[in-house]
Chain A
Amino acid sequence: GQNIDQPTEMTATEGAIVQINCTYQTSGFNGLFWYQQHAGEAPTFLSYNVLDGLEEKGRFSSFLSRSKGYSYLLLKELQMKDSASYLCAVTDPRLSNTGKLIFGQGTTLQVKP
């Protein structure tokens, strides 16, 4: 199966940069997703990485290293509204032709003024 590890909580200052790490088992891999979830709301899709390297999308970037089973989400110019939980997820290698995702427990980011 897949085990996904993320830090439970992080705190950062408004305007700063924060990096949220995610590690996963490398036994089969078809892609890694990042979702943002505000408390009590639906997760919203942020990024998808299937190849090594950095994908930039505005203030958010996501990096993947398949050989290391490692990804990070980089948030720049932090805003108060970025306070949320950030979920790392991978496709289930046993069900590669389905949309099943295995989610980490999420990292709760608190942005302070």
Chain B
Amino acid sequence: DSGVTQTPKHLITATGQRVTLRCSPRSGDLSVYWYQQSLDQGLQFLIQYYNGEERAKGNILERFSAQQFPDLHSELNLSSLELGDSALYFCASSVESSPNYGYTFGSGTRLTVV
């Protein structure tokens, strides 16, 4: 157990629907990161929050949004889902906003859009 908790572990939904993925960082970590991993794209950075504020943004689609709450958990909202959104979505956390020791990933949410 890495200490980073992601729910749900698996999600199957239809095209056009909206889903919310949840992440609880390790105790004491202020930064949360979201990554998407698909077979053809590898691990792609989506967004980072640090202590409730957006810190960095990757090539996140406009249909996707995220936030970090006062208790530091984070949610990634995916809407108007398309088949191509099927992927593993990982959350990671770290104490600092720019760690040099790597960060800890959660076990991921596998999203399947049918």
What 1/0 flags go to B55-68 for Cβ under 8 Å of A?
Answer: 11010000000000
Residue contact B102 to A100, C-beta cutoff 8 Å:
no
Closest to A94 in B: B56
Closest to B55 in A: A98
Residue contact A35 to B102, C-beta cutoff 8 Å:
yes
Interface residues on chain B, number (Cβ under 8 Å): 28
Residue contact B97 to A45, C-beta cutoff 8 Å:
no
Looking at the assembled complex, report how far the CB atom of B88 sits from the nearest CB atom of chain A, in whole angstroms.
8
Looking at the assembled complex, report how far the CB atom of B70 sits from the nearest CB atom of chain A, in whole angstroms.
20
Question: Is A97 positioned at the interface, with any CB of B under 8 Å from its CB?
Answer: yes
8 nearest A-B residue pairs (beta carbon) = A45-B102, A98-B56, A42-B105, A103-B43, A105-B42, A100-B56, A95-B56, A100-B45
Q: Which B residues fall within an 8 A CB radius of A? A: 2, 31, 33, 42-45, 48, 55-56, 58, 88, 90, 94, 96-108, 110
